[in-house]
Structure 1
Amino acid sequence: MVTRLSTQDALFYYLDEQDATTHIGSLLILDRGSDQLQYDRLLATVESRLGAVPRYRQRIREVTLGLGRPVWVDDNGFDITYHVRRSALPSPGAEEQLHDLVARLMSRPLDRSRPLWEMYLVEGLTDNRMAVLTKTHQALVDGHDAVEINQVLVDDSPRAPDAPQDIWLPAPEPSDASLVAGALTDVATRPREIVGALRGLSAPVAGVGSAVTGSLRRVGSMLRFATDGAPDSPLNGPTSGRRRFTVASADARTCARIARHNDCSVTDVVLAAIAGALRRWLLSRDAAVDATATVRALVPLGAYNGYGDPDSRGGSWEQIDDAEWTAAGVRGFVTDLPVGEPNPTVRLSQVAHLTGRHSTSGRRVAMGTRSWLPEIGPATFHAMTSRAAATLSGRSFNLPISIAGGGSAPQYLAGNRIVAAYPVPALVPQRALAIGLNHYNGRIFVAFNADRDIMWDLASMPEYLAEAVGELAVRASEP
């Protein structure tokens, strides 16, 4: 049976050009230990678990003349060694070298003639470590029919469970005639879509034009806040396909202590620290930052499910209102980060006040949304957040921030302990920076993915974030 791409998946597929790649990714740092992860073992581990993510052995095939949305078909020439690759850093294997490699790999388009994902085993890191970078097209991970591959690769113990035997035989590829017939049958019940396709046969994207319009209409309620545009910011402007990447981390217990001291949530602390880091970045560029300056951030409501601190107040969901959006099954809200406020305690208080309306009693939990969250892992949640952010108006926010909880104990990949887990969030057009956070094993891991030309000074961001957390920690220690 042929599976047709959803309207949103088709939109991501057609918009993925060299200047606007829509990859998402994850970067796992592994401790080699006594059981070093070799390329052959990673290859075998991935291959043994592909049965849990069947779409990773499918490619996208377009329909003749753009008469319908593309379809997923089994890749008859699937070659696991093309997708799982090996790389090594030159000596000394510093963090900066790894970050440069991630930026270069995430800048390259995926091969559309194959399944839209790649994985790299990166060797040569300092301190006897290695890394695994996963790069996946947003059209591939929808959170329902397909999850991010790391979700099925990561184990809770060094001894991996026995994987069921996977005997895969690709289905015969459909003919062009059958695809055209299927497309016409599919759109016959949606006359607006076929009219849109027939109006522009010369351009494949025309076939999804009216469908995209319908999709935006269906999520119109989430765009009502877009009339109040985001403030002007150097974070916004024409972006390229070239990337910069860097990471930071913070102690989760320190953030929890700050949250308890200020009677707020850990996520409030994280957002206030990001606001402090952005303030430092703006001042470093001699930007005019008055006391009322803000940066509008898009944050998933999943960050307010008790993330990081079970005693924090931000531990529930609320019903949707005008300042929230619903897209691709993910709920979230926009909030203004007070980058103009010089006092870190006041800055945190302002963030907590703005986000407080997104927390409420458990009696108002939106169960329909909450029910599917435990079924997806952090990597998939970041992918879903990136998909949702890409559907919003270009003027509705300055900065997407994706936050996901992870395991509270160490996890393993092919028997090797994961010491750090960073998301690699996708950049949204017209936004020069995307930030992703994972709470894993007692630390909060932060990743910054940025446009190379606009954010030439991205390497300073980890230091700015550490300073912002540090000043909050000092205030929390005062009597």
Structure 2
Amino acid sequence: MRQLTALDAQFLNVETETTTAHVAGLAILDSMRGSVNRDAIEALLLDRLHLSPALSLRLAEVPLGLDRPYWAADPRFDLRNHLFELSLPAPGDDWQLARVVAEIHARRLDRAHPLWEMHLINGLADGGVAIYTKVHHAAIDGVSGAETLAALLDLTPDGHLSRPPQCGHASADRPEAERPQAAPGLLGMLTGAVVNTAAHPVRAAQSVVKAAGDIDVIPLAAGLPGAKLIAKAARLVTRDRHRRPESPSLTVPRTPLNGPISARRHLSFGSVSLKDVKRVAKANAMSVNDVVMTLCTSALRSWLSERGALPAEPLIVAVPVAVRTAGARNRVGNQISAMVAPMPTNIPDPVERLQAVGATMSRAKRRFALAPATWLNELCSVLPAPVTTLATPAIFRLASVAFPPINLIISNVPGPQFPLYLCGARVLSYYPMSVLTDMSGGLNITCFSYDGMLDFGIVACPERVDDVWGLLGHLRTALDELLDERVSDEFRDGVGVDLMAG
């Protein structure tokens, strides 16, 4: 039994009729042998559920919402509440797949059960199958999500046949720490709520002081008069003597990406060659992540320019960063922070844009390395749980109209550079998909590096982004542009960009 943290609970609070807060992935599998079917997946899940705690725990709500919920074992766990199957109509192309997955992605998870679903999708045009899986962000972050995925995958096609049978639930030979536990009873929950309420003023004050040390990089707050002086004073109070690089301006320009979102979702997915991205990175003495951020910056510049909506100032992006420690492996919940930085969409020259992204991200990473920001968790801890639950949707909606703190979120999750298999079928691609909120904007770009490719998943609200596939196309153009500009003729020999829609 474990109580949700303030950050975990915030992912529950943000959900409304127009906002869902799960993260997801779309795996494309080569199943020409027909090895991937509902029975095989069901057997696999029952065999390995114990390896992923997030898949077997449900929420236990505190009466009247007086405190944050708890994670508890589901005594009536039934795989039929989580595993579903459907088939695409002919011809089963990538656009049909995207439409079907977008509809599923737009639906909230049922909180009466463990917060995840898996959908087996048959009828793909090339004879393969797709598996779309979503898990609530309250239960996992990027790192624990990758661990959950890895628990279901094998290194060889017959790996699922060679493992000894396992029990999907607690057994006598499993360590007590791994066994799902029951939530506290009514009296225990109410007692915990009283204790947490009494202690909250002190904890909230501590959170305010800690967050104030990073106020110069917190969206919106960074623009307040004297923000840098306040940050320095707060760091003196907490005896934080780390010297931080000067923070850039984080003024958020108005764009079509920002504003209230609807309940509808559109998505696109595709891949670019990781080898090509690494070549650009090497030629410019940058990291792969810097090049990924440049691709996204260039794609957004082109997309906004087409609509006459390119602002004169840089866009402001939030980049999630994992702060999970080795001792927290397989722990349910979130251990993440975020870097907030400008995207130089205002720079027309692609080479100068690449260099500007590299400089901006380098400065943000140096600051984060010196003093990892905890402001995201601290801000979620300031208000009491009952107030946060009621106030969060209104705050997010107001922010979208009056003062959006960022333009969008971009995530880059590293993955294995070798093939993996599920139920004997090779995973060809894995497209990640994430969360849209009123506050963070109507567009989210996430990529996952896997087996020599960078797999992009783009999720958008159609009221904010009218052509999600066009945006994906601009990513290809951006990489072509960098290869042409920065790679020598010898370096370019044999270089090709493969942007696939599936």
Q: With structure 2 as the length reference, what TM-score do the two structures score?
A: 0.74
User: Given the alignment of the two structures, is residue 428 of structure 1 paired with residue 434 of structure 2, yes or no?
Assistant: no
Aligned residue number for residue 156 of structure 2? 157
State yes or no: 1:408 paired with 2:428.
no
Does residue 10 (structure 1) correspond to residue 9 (structure 2)? The answer is yes
Q: From the superposition, tell whether residues 82 and 213 of structure 1 become closer, same or farther in structure 2 (CA, over 3 Å).
A: farther
Q: Give the partner amino acid of 1:408.
A: Q
TM-aligned CA deviation for residue 73 of structure 1: 2.8
Contact 1:61-1:72 within 8 A present in 2 as well:
yes
Tell me, in whole angstroms, the C-alpha distance in 2 between the residues paired with 1:172 and 1:263.
50
Query: Would you say 1:467 and 2:477 are equivalent positions?
Result: yes
Instruction: Kindly state the Cα deviation for residue 187 of structure 1 after the two structures are TM-superposed.
Output: 3.6
Q: How far does the alpha carbon of each residue in 1:37-73 deviate from its partner, in whole angstroms, 9 at most, with x for none?
A: 1110011101111111234222212222233322223
CA pair 442-68 structure 1, distance change in 2 beyond 3 A: same
AA of the residue aligned to 1:65: L
Query: 2:255, 2:309 within 8 Å by CA — same for their partners in 1?
Result: no
Q: Which amino acid aligns with 2:304?
A: L
* Contact map agreement 1:26 1:134 (CA 8 A) in 2: yes
1:184 is matched with which residue: 188, 191, 198?
191
Deviations 1:257-285 (A, max 9, x none): 11222222222222111111111111111
2:45 maps to: 46
Distance 1:284 1:144 in 2: 36
Percent of residue pairs bearing the same amino acid type: 30
Q: Distance in 2 between matches of 1:414 and 1:154?
A: 8
Q: Contact 1:23–1:137 (CA<8 Å) still a contact in 2?
A: yes
Rounded Cα–Cα distance in structure 2 between residues aligned with 1:332 and 1:8: 12
How far, CA to CA, are the matches of 1:343 and 1:94 in structure 2?
36
Aligned residues: 412
Aligned: 1:264 with 2:286? yes
**1:357 lines up with 2:357 in the alignment:** no
Cα distance in 2, alignment partners of residues 67 and 360 from structure 1: 40
For residues 338 and 173 of structure 1, do their structure 2 counterparts lie closer, same or farther at Cα, with a shift above 3 Å needed? closer
Partner of 2:239: none
CA contact (8 A) 2:433 2:459 kept: yes
Deviation at 1:238, TM superposition (A): 1.0
Give the corresponding residue for 2:315: 295
Residues 367-404 of structure 1 deviation map (CA, whole Å, 9 limit, x = unaligned): 999xxxxxxxxxxxxxxxxxxxx9xx874321111111
**Residue aligning to 1:234:** 256
In structure 2, the partner of 1:21 is: 20
**Pair 1:301–1:172, CA change in 2 (3 A):** closer
Residues 250 and 174 (structure 1), Cα distance of their counterparts in 2 relative to 1, 3 Å cut: closer
Q: Which blocks of at least 5 consecutive residues in structure 1 are unaligned?
A: 196-209, 304-326, 370-389
- On the 8 A contact 1:7/1:211 being kept in 2, the answer is no
Contact 1:50 1:56 in 2 (8 A): yes
Q: Distance in 2 between matches of 1:144 and 1:440?
A: 15
Question: How much has 1:147 moved relative to structure 2?
Answer: 7.2
Following the alignment from structure 1 to structure 2, what is the Cα–Cα distance between the partners of residues 347 and 232? Answer: 20
8 Å contact 2:322–2:335 — kept in the other structure?
no
Asked whether the equivalents of residues 255 and 310 of structure 2 are also in contact (C-alpha less than 8 Å), the reply is: no
- Of the structure 1 ranges 455-464 and 211-220, higher mean CA displacement relative to structure 2 is found in 211-220
CA distance in 1, matches of 2:131, 2:18: 25
Among 447, 470, 490, which residue is 1:437 paired with? Answer: 447
Query: 1:136 Cα shift?
Result: 1.1
Decide whether the 8 Å contact of 2:264 with 2:462 is kept in 1: yes
Alignment TM-score, normalising by the size of structure 1: 0.77
Q: Which amino acid aligns with 1:20?
A: T
Aligned-partner Cα distance in 1 for 2:321–2:198: 36
How far, CA to CA, are the matches of 1:167 and 1:83 in structure 2? 14
Report the alpha carbon displacement of residue 31 of structure 1 after superposing the two structures with TM: 0.8
Question: Alignment partner for residue 453 of structure 1, among 453, 456, 463?
Answer: 463
**SS of corresponding position for 2:122:** strand
Secondary structure of 1:125's partner?
Answer: coil
The answer for unaligned runs of 5 or more in structure 2 is 171-178, 224-250, 324-332, 374-395, 490-502
Distance 1:402 1:217, change over 3 A: farther
Inter-CA distance 172–328: structure 2 relative to 1 (3 Å threshold):
closer
Q: Report the 3-state secondary structure (helix = DSSP H, G, I; strand = E; otherwise coil) of the residue aligned with 1:249.
A: strand
Shift of 1:163: 4.7
Letter in 2 for 1:100: R
Q: Provide the rounded CA distance (Å) in 2 between the counterparts of 1:250 and 1:367.
A: 33
Question: 2:308 aligns to what?
Answer: 286
DSSP 3-state at the match of 1:69: coil
Counterpart contact for 2:270–2:457, Cα < 8 Å: yes
Give the direction of change, closer, same or farther, for the CA distance of 1:275–1:458 in structure 2 (3 Å limit). same
Q: What are the within-5 Å matches in structure 2 for residues 216-231 of structure 1?
A: 218-225=210-217, 226=219, 227-228=222-223, 229-231=251-253
Q: Distance in 2 between matches of 1:145 and 1:447?
A: 18
Shift of 1:452: 2.2
Counterpart for residue 245 of structure 2: none
The match for 1:336 among 318, 342, 346 is 342
* Structure 2 CA distance for aligned equivalents of residues 368 and 357 of structure 1: 13
Q: CA deviation at 1:128?
A: 1.9
> Residue 429 of structure 1: CA displacement?
2.7
Q: Which residue type is aligned with residue 111 of structure 1?
A: D
2:365 and 2:188 mapped to 1: Cα distance? Answer: 50
Report the AA paired with residue 165 of structure 1.
Q
CA gap 1:152/1:174 in 2 versus in 1, 3 angstroms:
closer
**Cα distance in 2 for residues equivalent to 1:80 and 1:44:** 10
Give, in angstroms, the shift of residue 301 of structure 1: 5.0
Amino acid at match of 2:260: P
**1:10 counterpart SS class:** helix
Find the counterpart in structure 1 of residue 495 from structure 2: none
